[in-house]
Amino acid sequence: MDGPGNKVSILLLPLIIMFSYLLCDLVGRIFVYGYDTELPHDVVESALRKLFSSCGEITDLYIRRTEDTLCRRAIIYFMGEGAVDKALQLSGSDVGGGKAIVKPFPFPENLGCDIVVFVTGYDKSLSKIDIESALRNHFSSCGEISKVTIFEKSGAATAYITGEDADDKVRELRGSFMGGCKLLVRVISGGIYTTHKRRRFARS
């Protein structure tokens, strides 16, 4: 029988997935300083988007507001080969009433190596033991699997995987078949994201 903790997890998982993205080799992010913090948020955001649009696809741009002004630092997420390098070359450009100061904001080196995977699509008629065994076998090439949790009512499972490039390896199993069933696979924790965390877990 599922306990209260499992019921909460089942309710939260779809929300987490909604704002999550799988690891992508082409994701990068930067810090930008130098704009006029007294200007309206929309004006500064528009100026930043215009300046950096040639670097790659801007997947998110976050400028936190204080009570009266904007914070002096913006965070921009990109998709695209060499996007961060291109953005760094624009440091010193005119933007938002000032001169842009661009600095790299790299992801931690071990990101993508210790992840939680959400899986659906398997044969729900199997016993929990058989499902867990099948999942452990299916994802064994991705790294060490420390825990598998089966949510019987929702037909979903989570797997905790640790290993080098685990996120990349799991991504390769999207749409793979297990026992004749096509799996839906999502990394819900520990992966690289293309949006700021306030879009995934909170509202600014």
Q: Mean of the pLDDT values across residues 60-65?
A: 92
Q: Which pTM does this prediction carry?
A: 0.58
Through-space distance between the first and last CA atoms of the chain, rounded to whole angstroms: 37
Choose between 7 and 189: higher pLDDT.
189
Q: Which domains does the chain have, with CATH numbers?
A: 27-104 (3.30.70.330), 112-189 (3.30.70.330)
On the question of pLDDT at 116 being above 60, the answer is yes
Res 188: pLDDT: 81
pLDDT digits (tens, 9 = 90+) for 69-92: 999 999 999 988 899 999 999 999
Indicate the burial class of 171 (C-beta count within 10 angstroms; 0-12, 13-18, 19 or more): buried
CA distances from 171 to 5, 180, 186, 189 (A): 27, 19, 8, 13
pLDDT band at residue 43 under the 50/70/90 scheme? very high
Rounded to 5°, the CA angle 68-69-70 comes to: 145
Nearest residue to 118 via CA among 171, 50, 196: 171
pLDDT value at 136 more than 70: yes
Q: Alpha-carbon distance 194 to 15, whole Å?
A: 16
Q: What is the DSSP letter of 79?
A: E
